[in-house]
């Protein structure tokens, strides 16, 4: 390649800028009011779901997926029926 040295210089320059930015970045733990234990609470799926949400999600998935699958199957059946000359 004709421009290997120029490309290498560009990559080196970008690497130097990235290192400078990492060194100058503020520390998340420097805040005196920051409490790291706040972020260690594990959330479960039951925290975000209400009583009937799981059933509602299953029903909505069936309402969405089943008609599309039936449509695709009917399309395949009708195309094969037409191509085989069964009509």
Read off the pLDDT of residues 39-52 as tens digits, 9 standing for 90 and up: 666 666 666 777 77
Task: Report residues of the chain scoring pLDDT below 50.
Answer: none
Distance, first Cα to last Cα, the chain: 63
pLDDT at 44: 65
pLDDT at 72: 97
The structure's pTM equals 0.41
pLDDT at 5: 84
Contact 87, 81 (CB under 8 A): yes
Spell out the SS3 assignment of 19-74: HHHHHHCCCHHHCCCCCHHHHHCCCCHHHCCCCCHHHHHHHHHHHHHHHHHHHHHH
**Structure letter (DSSP) for residue 73:** H
Side-chain half-sphere CA neighbours of 43 within 13 A: 6
């Amino acid at each position: 390649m004709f421009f290997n040295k120029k490309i290498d210089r560009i990559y080196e320059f970008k690497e130097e800028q990235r290192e400078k930015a990492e060194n100058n970045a503020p520390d998340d733990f420097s805040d005196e009011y920051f409490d790291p234990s706040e972020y260690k609470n594990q959330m479960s799926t039951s925290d975000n779901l209400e009583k009937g949400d799981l059933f509602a999600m299953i029903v909505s998935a069936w309402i969405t997926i089943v008609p599309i699958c039936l449509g695709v199957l009917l399309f395949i059946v009708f195309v094969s029926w037409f191509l085989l000359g069964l009509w």
